[in-house]
Structure 1
Amino acid sequence: MSALFPALEAASGRPALRFGADTLTYEELARAAGALAVRIRGAGRVAVWATPTAETAVGVVAALLAGVPAVPVNPRTGQRELAHIVGDSAPGAVLAGTADDLPGPLAALRRIDVDIDVPAGGVPDGGVPAAGGGGRAEEGREDAEAPALIVYTSGTTGPPKGVVLSRRAIAASLDALEEAWRWTADDVLVHALPLFHVHGLILGILGPLRRGGEVRHLGAFSVEGVAKELGDGGGTMLFGVPTMYHRIAEALPHDPALVRALTGARLLVSGSAALPVRDHERIAAATGRTVIERYGMTETLMNTSIPVGPGPRPGSVGLPLRGVGLRLVEEDGSVLDAHDGETVGEIQVRGPNLFTAYLNRPDATAAAFADGGWFRTGDMAVREADGYVRIVGRKATDLIKSGGYKIGAGEIENALLDHPDVREAAVTGEPDPDLGERIVAWVVPADPARPPAPDALAAHVTALLAPHKRPREVRYLAALPRNDMGKILKKALPGTPDA
C-alpha cells in the first residue's frame, strides 16, 4: 500500500468515505482501491470521470496505490476542451462509475468501471503494486517525485495546461495543513466541492484519508445538508467556497439547526476566492465561529493559511505554511520588504508543495519561474506588520493603475459589499485618457427595482478606503458570471476584453 495513506495498511472498520448512501470503511476502501489498482497497473496514465461520487474517490486512490498518474476530468467540460485534455494527457484508460455515460473523446478510450463493493478476498493474486514514496514530506523517498495527479487549469488564457503534481507535493501540502489546522484522525470533514479541482479532491478527499479521518461528501451543496452532517452527523470540519458560505450566512438568521451545527464545528475553511468581510462577520456573529481562509493554486497546492488559535483575520489568507517561502516582488523583479499593509506586489513562492511541470509545455514551465525556483503566481498582495498576507487581486485582471496609484480590486469589492443595497460586486479597470485606468464597479443590487445610486456607492467607498479608490463608473447586472468553484469570471463581463 502507498505510504500516502497509512490508514489503509491497518484496513480497520473506521469510516473513511461517505457519499450519500454509499459508505466505505478503511477496510472496504483498501479492498476496492486495491483491486482496481491491480487492474490499472501499467496503464501509463488514467483519466478519472470525476463525478461527486465514491467511485471517483476510489478511482483516484487506486491510481495512487498503483503509481499510475490520474487525470481528473470535469464532467461538465465541453467537447473541444475535453478533446484537448484527452489528446494532451494521452491516458491509457478511463475510470468511471458503471452508470456513467462518457462523451466522445473519453468513450474512445479503454473503459474500466469502478466497483466500490469488493468482497473480502477480492484483490487478485499478486496484491497491490508497491507504489512507495509519498510518505511524510521530510522522508525524501526516492520516488517521491513520481507524478501522482495531472490537474488541468481553467484555461482562461488559452487551452488548459496540465499541472503535474508529484507525490512529494501532495504529502508536503497536506502535512503542512495538519500542523496549521491541528488536523487529526478524529476529524470528520463535510464538503460538497467538485472532485476535479485541488480544493475538493486533494484537500477534501486525500486530506482526510492521509490523516486517517472521515470525509462526508454531500454530492451537491445545500445548507440543509451542511446542517445535517455537521450537526446530527458529528462533523468537525467544513470546507467551502465563498458562494457556499454566502448562502450559509443568508440562511443563518432563519435556521436554528444550521446555527447549532456551525457552532459545534471545530473548523470552517473557505478557499478558491476571497470570502467577503461581510459574510465573515455575519457567520461569526451568529455562531461564534470564525471562517479560516487559506491561499493556494493548482500549481502550488497550499501556500498560506490562517492558523488555528490566534483569532479572526477577515480579509487575510494568513501566514506561509511550513516549508513554503513567500515573497512580494515589483514589476521589475525587485523584492519588496514592506510590511505596511499598503505596498502591493506579486506573490512568488517556492517549496516542496510546488508542481513539477506543465505537461508537454517546457516553454510555459520555464516562463512560470523566476531565478532561484520562485514560482510567479500572478496574484497581487500586501503584507501586514506581523507578516500576514492579504491578497488584493490577480495581476492580469485585478491590479488597477489609476492616477499614479496601484490599486487592488479586491479591497474595493469588499467595500462595495459592505453597502446594504449591494448583493454582489466586481471591480475592473478600463483605459482612461486622464487617469490611465478608471475604476469600474459591476454591481448586482439587493433590490433590482431600487439599485443604489453611483454617487452613493462612490461616497461609500471613499468613506471606507480613500478617494482615489472610488469607482468612477457603476454598471448594474442581474448576476455576475462565475465558474464551477464560484470564482467571478471578469473576462466574461459584458464589454470587457475576451467577453
Structure 2
Amino acid sequence: MPLLRALLEGGLDDPDAVRIGDTAFSGPELLGAASVVADEIAERPDPSSPVAVGATASAETVVAVVGALLAGAPVVPVPPDSGMAERAHLLGDSGATTWFGDRPRDVTLPGKRVDLSRRAGHEVREATGDGPALILYTSGTTGSPKGVLLSADAMAAGLDGLADAWGWTAADTLVHGLPLFHVHGLVLGVFGALRTGSRLVHTVKPTPENYARAVREHGGSLLFGVPTVWSRIGDDPASAAALTDARLLVSGSAPLPVPVFERVRELTGQAPVERYGMSETMITLAVRADGERRPGWVGVPVAGVECRLRAVTDGPDGESVTTDEEVPTDGESIGELQVRGPSLFDGYLNRPEATAETQTADGWFRTGDAAVVDADGYHRIVGRRSVDLIKSGGYRIGAGEVETALLAYEGISEAAVVGEPDDDLGQRIVAHVVCSGASVDAQDVMDFVGERLSKHKRPREVVVVDELPRNAMGKVQKARLRRG
C-alpha cells in the first residue's frame, strides 16, 4: 500500500485540502504538480540518485518532496538555515545530484525550480522499491550528522500507529507550522495528512495567532506543536480560547514543561497529549486520544511497536553500560529504552559500524534514551543515557526529571541539568537556568526541587545564564555547559 495512500487514491478533493500559507491545492492539483517534478527527476542521468530539497516552509517544498517520492528518488531535506559547512556535508555524504528550490550560492549541484502552476497530463503512481525514501540527518551532537535511511514502508507503519492512537481520520484538519525537514513537521505533518486523507493547514510560522486563525477559519481539529509553541499559546489567552474547538492538541520533539501543560489545559479545556520518537524509529510511544493525560509522560507503545527497558550499570572504566537485566515497571527505576517494530529505519547511510552499535544481539534498537515505565505501560523519558544519566551518591538520576521540576519554579524559563565531577558524590547535579524576570535565589531553587523529588535529586549548584547553548535543531549542547 503506497505511503501517500489518500492522495494517490483520489482523496483530498476539496480545493482547499492542502494549504501551505496562502497557497492551497486540492489533492489532484498537488499530485499533478508533483508529477511534473517526478518527470524531471526521471529524466536525469541517474534517476534513482538522491534529490536535495531546500526545505523551506512552502508549497514548493511539499511539491518537490512528493514528486521525489513518486519518482522513487531518496529525498534529502536541507534545513533552510543550514550553514555552508553543514550543507556541504549533507550534500556530499548523501550523494545528492540535483537541488530543488532556491539554490544557495555555495551549492554547485544542478538546480531546478518548482513551478506551482504546471500540471502533468498523465497518471503517476508512487514508485515501489526497497530503498530509502528519505535521508534525514541527525543533529550531530556526537560528531558529524549521520544520514538516517527511512523507507516508505517504515513511515507508513509509523503513521498508521499514530492514526490508531489519535483517532486520526479523513474527517480531521491537521494544523501546524513546524519545519519541513524532520520527522515531526514533514513525515507526521505532511505525509500523515496525505496518507489519512485529512486536510492540512501549514501556518508557515507557528504563532498562536496563526494556530487560532487556522482553527476558526479552516476547522482545525488536530494540532501539532513543540513545547515552545504551546508555551507561547499559554501566554496568549485570546488565541488559546480559539483552540477549544480543536479535537486534539499534540506536543512533541521535547518534554512539555508541567506549567505549560497546566496552562494550556486551563485555557483550552483540554490537556495536550505527548509522544516520543526519533528519526530512526518514527513515533514509538504516544498518549492515546482516549487515554489518561499525565504531564511528563509520553504514553504507551503505538500499534505494531514493542518497547522494553534494560538496566544500566557501571562498566570497568566507570562508564554507563546497558545490561540484559529487565527493569521493574514501577515508574521509578531507570533503564535504557529499546524498541522494535516495522517503523524502524534501515540504518545510517554508509555507517555500518554506527548502525551495528544501535542493535542488540536479539534484534532491538537501542534508543540511547533513559526512561521509566509504570505498571500501566506508561513511559516517561528522563534524558539521554550518555549525557542525562547522572550518578550521584550511589543513585542514578535522570536529568530530564530534574529539569521538569526546575521549570515549575516561577521565574525559570529554561533549564539544563548536567553532572559534574565531585570528590564526595562522584557527580554533583548542577542546574543551568535562564530566568524570565529577576534573578532567582539558588538555595530556594534547590529546596524547591528537593520538596518535589527525592532529596538526592536536588541540584547542588544553580548557575544562572543568559541563554543555553543550542545546535541548529534547537537542542541544548550540554557538553558546552560542563566545567569539569
State the TM-score bracket (shorter-chain normalisation): over 0.9
Q: Which residue of 2 aligns with 1:114?
A: 114
Question: Is the 8 Å Cα contact of residues 173 and 302 (structure 1) preserved in structure 2?
Answer: yes
Q: Which residue of 1 aligns with 2:318?
A: none
Shift of 1:259: 2.9
Aligned ranges for residues 42-441 of structure 1 at < 5 Å?
A: 42-96=47-101, 100-104=102-106, 106=107, 108-118=108-118, 122-123=119-120, 127-128=123-124, 131-132=127-128, 143=129, 145-252=130-237, 255=238, 258-331=239-312, 332-441=322-431
**Alpha-carbon distance in 1 for matches of 2:261, 2:228:** 12
**Alpha-carbon distance in 2 for matches of 1:490, 1:39:** 44
Q: Deviations over 1:224-253 (max 9, x none)?
A: 11111122321111111111111111222x
Aligned ranges for residues 465-476 of structure 1 at < 5 Å?
A: 465-476=453-464
Shift of 1:486: 4.2
Normalised to the residue count of structure 1, the TM-score between the two structures is 0.91
Shift of 1:490: 2.1
Question: Is the 8 Å Cα contact of residues 3 and 156 (structure 2) preserved in structure 1?
Answer: no
Question: Is the 8 Å Cα contact of residues 272 and 485 (structure 1) preserved in structure 2?
Answer: no
Which region of structure 1 is more displaced relative to structure 2, 77-86 or 379-388?
A: 77-86
Shift of 1:482: 3.5
Question: Is the 8 Å Cα contact of residues 295 and 304 (structure 1) preserved in structure 2?
Answer: yes
**Alpha-carbon distance in 2 for matches of 1:418, 1:428:** 18
Question: Is the 8 Å Cα contact of residues 328 and 348 (structure 1) preserved in structure 2?
Answer: yes
Question: Is the 8 Å Cα contact of residues 190 and 217 (structure 1) preserved in structure 2?
Answer: yes
Shift of 1:429: 0.7
For residue 293 of structure 2, give the secondary structure of its aligned residue in structure 1: coil
Q: Deviations over 1:308-351 (max 9, x none)?
A: 11232111000011111111112342232411111100101111
For residue 304 of structure 2, give the secondary structure of its aligned residue in structure 1: coil
Structure 1: unaligned runs, 5 residues or longer: 133-142
Question: Is the 8 Å Cα contact of residues 276 and 298 (structure 2) preserved in structure 1?
Answer: yes
For residue 323 of structure 2, give the secondary structure of its aligned residue in structure 1: coil
Which region of structure 1 is more displaced relative to structure 2, 148-157 or 16-25?
A: 16-25
Question: Is the 8 Å Cα contact of residues 43 and 92 (structure 1) preserved in structure 2?
Answer: no
Q: Deviations over 1:414-463 (max 9, x none)?
A: 11111113222221110111100000011112323xx2211111111111
Q: Which residue of 2 aligns with 1:32?
A: 33
Question: Is the 8 Å Cα contact of residues 7 and 210 (structure 1) preserved in structure 2?
Answer: yes
Tell me the amino acid that sits aligned with residue 178 of structure 1.
A
Shift of 1:496: 4.7
**Alpha-carbon distance in 1 for matches of 2:167, 2:374:** 24
Question: Is the 8 Å Cα contact of residues 234 and 240 (structure 2) preserved in structure 1?
Answer: no
Q: Deviations over 1:284-308 (max 9, x none)?
A: 1122111110000011111100001
Tell me the amino acid that sits aligned with residue 185 of structure 2.
G
Normalised to the residue count of structure 2, the TM-score between the two structures is 0.93
Change (3 A) 1:335 1:321: farther
Shift of 1:40: 0.5
Question: Is the 8 Å Cα contact of residues 418 and 431 (structure 2) preserved in structure 1?
Answer: yes
**Alpha-carbon distance in 2 for matches of 1:160, 1:209:** 29
Q: Which residue of 1 aligns with 2:451?
A: 463
Question: Is the 8 Å Cα contact of residues 82 and 472 (structure 2) preserved in structure 1?
Answer: no
**Alpha-carbon distance in 1 for matches of 2:76, 2:257:** 32
> What is the aligned residue count?
470
Change (3 A) 1:175 1:12: closer
Tell me the amino acid that sits aligned with residue 63 of structure 1.
A
Change (3 A) 1:419 1:67: same
Tell me the amino acid that sits aligned with residue 54 of structure 1.
A
For residue 250 of structure 2, give the secondary structure of its aligned residue in structure 1: strand
Q: Which residue of 2 aligns with 1:139?
A: none
Question: Is the 8 Å Cα contact of residues 231 and 260 (structure 1) preserved in structure 2?
Answer: no
For residue 373 of structure 1, give the secondary structure of its aligned residue in structure 2: coil
Structure 2: unaligned runs, 5 residues or longer: 313-321
Q: Deviations over 1:136-185 (max 9, x none)?
A: xxxxxxx3x33110001011111110000011101100011110000011
Cα RMSD, aligned residues only: 1.7
Which region of structure 1 is more displaced relative to structure 2, 294-303 or 415-424?
A: 415-424
Change (3 A) 1:80 1:416: same
Shift of 1:25: 0.7
